[in-house]
């Protein structure tokens, strides 16, 4: 089993997180465009989207300065992506459950 794991290819953590970020943005935009959201739900999703955009802006600024963003920024970005996805799962599961 270890031989198989050694041969797995992994991308750089930054590239993986940026792909996750793009997917999170896509999902948030899709949910915001749906009409089934209540005003409160829309506010929660918009807040999650705003936090992701803020961290993405910070990330981009660090990259433009040609400095390596600290690992803490990667961790913060990953936490926010996961929190946003968790929020979406909770909203969609609540809506799909019968009242």
- The share of the chain scoring above pLDDT 70, in percent, equals 81
Ranges of each domain in the chain: 12-96
Contact between residue 49 and residue 21 where contact means Cβ atoms under 8 Å apart? no
The pLDDT assigned to 17 comes to: 87
The three-state (H, E, C) secondary structure of 13-40, written as one string: HHHHHHHHHHHHHHHHHHHHHCCCCCHH
Reported as a single tens digit per residue, the pLDDT across 23-61 is: 999 999 988 887 678 888 889 889 999 999 998 898 888
Residue 32: name the closest of 98, 92, 94 by CA: 92
What does the alpha-carbon distance between residue 81 and residue 25 come to, in Å, rounded to a whole number?
9
């Amino acid at each position: 089993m270890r031989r198989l794991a050694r041969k797995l290819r992994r991308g750089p953590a930054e590239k993986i997180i940026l792909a996750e970020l793009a997917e999170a943005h896509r999902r948030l935009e899709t949910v915001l465009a749906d009409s089934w959201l209540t005003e409160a739900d829309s506010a929660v999703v918009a807040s999650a989207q705003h936090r992701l955009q803020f961290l993405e802006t910070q990330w981009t600024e660090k990259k433009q300065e040609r400095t390596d963003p600290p690992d803490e920024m990667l961790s913060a970005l990953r936490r926010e992506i996961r929190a946003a996805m968790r929020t979406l799962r909770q909203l969609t599961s609540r809506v799909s459950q019968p009242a």
